[in-house]
Chains A and B, each alone.
Chain A
Amino acid sequence: MTTQSLEMYSFKANLQIVWSEVVKNFKFLMAYPVIFVFWTIFPFLWFIPFVFQGQAFVGSLQSAEFEKFAGTPDYIPFIVIGAILNGYVLTSLYGVGESIRREAYRGTLDYLLSSPCNKAFILIGKALSESINSTIYAAIQLAVGIFLFGIEITIGIILPTVLIIFLLILGLYGISLMLAGVSLQFKQAHDVAHTLEYVFYVFSPVRYPLGSLPFWAQVIGRLLPLTYALVAVRSIMLLKQNIMGLYQEIFLLLIMDIVAILLGFYLFNWMEKRTKSSGAISHY
């Protein structure tokens, strides 16, 4: 074979790995449809108390005080968008981040890691399949949000929103790669995933605007990709801002993506080599 045809073969083989992972995860999802129902419905149940809390404290669907921080008095669309985007965090942390641990539970991790392929493409496959699932959940939630909570959406809003969500997904999967690496070495990455979930939930503007937090908490919030994605998506959907005016948020999100993905791949490869040489891969 010539070098060119070898490269072509290798590219096709890697694409096949990604595709196989997507198909495998889809089959798992179809085998447990209740998990699909869970991720579609439950994010709503988690934010409904905030809707009633708003009505009890303010007495209406708008708050002038809330507008000072959020730029919009409509607190319900604000938290609906927060819940939808936070769903990506949850599915990436528990879906991709713990996927390696799940392979160990199923007894397939050793085979996977000893297969003659680039492991990064296995993880890309897992991340891609999780992104597709998360986007289906988000689309259903958004449709309900439009129908029940008065979120307005136009074609002009959809494209920039998709772009920002894509950038958010890239950053989150960089973080998930790090988590997958940690679970290779330390097995129980569950606590790390939960702790990251808390950090995202408290310090990102999921339920309240970032400006309402103390300065030190805002600094932590600004280190998280979800913060910039939420600010940008809300600016587009609720404040009707043009995407060009959000170049700072988008640029910072892009920088975070690059750092997270590079660090994620480096950490995962390092942990993989470490566990292979120490023989800790098959430890439970």
Chain B
Amino acid sequence: MCPHGFTLANLKAETRAIWANNMKEWKIELAYPISFVRQSVEPLVFLLPFIVYGLVLIGGRYSDHLMQLVGTGDIVTYVFTGYIIMGFIGTSVWAMGFSIRKEQWYGTLESIYVTPTSRLSFVLGMALHSLLHQGISVFLEFSAIYVIFDLALRIEGILPALVIFALMMLALIGFGIFVASFAMILKEGWIISEGLYSVLMILSPVAYPLTVLPSIAQQASNVFPTAPALIGMRTFLIENYTPEVMGNVFLHLLALDAAWIIFGIIIFSVTDSYVRKRGSLGKY
């Protein structure tokens, strides 16, 4: 009999399922090496225009106006520390959001659905694969930007920044579970993923401080983990950085973690039973 419920045996079994799903994705990805290389350098390609555009706007690397807003004028370090999270937003809205739809493309969705494994394990397996993949992309981004422009980062701030990053990822995983439930209902769900990715990019202080956004957008950014996470990470990583929004980043992120994970799982469970009851899961 298969283990089930909140038992150690079941937890071990689900962990194995998550790992197996992650390994399966790696095998598929590495079967197309050109595609793997392209996807790994893609974040760098989309980061460069932000930096070059910034350099052209102010005719150099240091912006007096940015200095007034956040206490640092180094636009290269500022944009780099913001843009590294974009790939992880992709983990949430693309990799996790599309996990179920992808199985449908492969023709394996029904087979996977009848296995005695939690559906969430598929989604989390995709999240793990994407996290590792994005780690490679961030390493490439860091190497390229460090070699071309040099980066002024505080080494001692890396550890606390990683703690903040981990808290952000927990909330993004909850958000990704929520997006995955959309993909079960909407067959053209890629537009939702692209839409959420673009909206999160605008609402997050990736290339500009939150204070330049209209106040309604600033309020909306509080709902997503990327804004407090970026403010917190920059506080530790950039010398003299002054947070544009005051408040305890750790508490904010913990609250968002709990909220997004609970909300994501509830919506996912409701959608899962709804599509199975309607028999629309296998519809293409």
| Chain A contact residues, CB within 8 Å of chain B | 32, 34-35, 37-38, 42, 45-46, 48-50, 52-59, 63-66, 68-70, 75, 79, 188, 190-191, 194-195, 198, 201-202, 206-209, 212-213
Contacts and interface: CB of A to CB of B under 8 A. Distances in A.
B110 interface: no
Given A34-B188, A63-B58, A208-B56, 15 more contacts: A34-B191, A38-B191, A45-B202, A46-B198, A49-B202, A54-B53, A57-B208, A58-B58, A63-B57, A75-B57, A201-B46, A206-B49, A207-B49, A207-B52, A207-B53
A57 B69 CA distance: 9
Interface stretch (B5-13, B32-40, B88-96, B175-183): B32-40
Given A194-B38, A207-B53, A213-B52, A45 B199 contact: yes
A65 B58 contact: yes
Contacts of B48: 202
B166 to A, nearest CB: 25
A194 B36 CA distance: 12
Contacts of B212: 52, 55-56
Contacts of B207: 49-50, 52-53, 56
B35 A191 contact: yes
Contacts of B52: 207-208, 212-213
A37 B191 CA distance: 10
Interface of B: 32, 34-35, 38, 42, 45-46, 48-50, 52-60, 63-66, 68-69, 75, 79, 188, 191, 194-195, 198-199, 201-202, 206-209, 212-213
B66 A57 contact: yes
30 contacts: A34-B188, A34-B191, A35-B191, A38-B194, A45-B199, A45-B202, A49-B50, A49-B202, A50-B53, A50-B207, A53-B208, A55-B212, A57-B54, A57-B63, A57-B65, A63-B57, A65-B56, A65-B57, A65-B59, A69-B56, A70-B56, A188-B32, A188-B35, A194-B42, A198-B42, A201-B45, A201-B49, A206-B49, A207-B53, A209-B56
A191 B34 CA distance: 8
B209 to A, nearest CB: 6
Given A38-B194, A198-B42, A53 B199 contact: no
A32 to B, nearest CB: 7
A52 B58 contact: no
Contact of B49 (A52, A69, A208): A208
Contacts of A70: 56
A70 B79 CA distance: 22
A219 to B, nearest CB: 16
Contacts of A34: 188, 191
Contacts of B202: 45, 48-49, 52
A45 B53 CA distance: 17
Contacts of A69: 56
Contacts of A45: 195, 198-199, 201-202
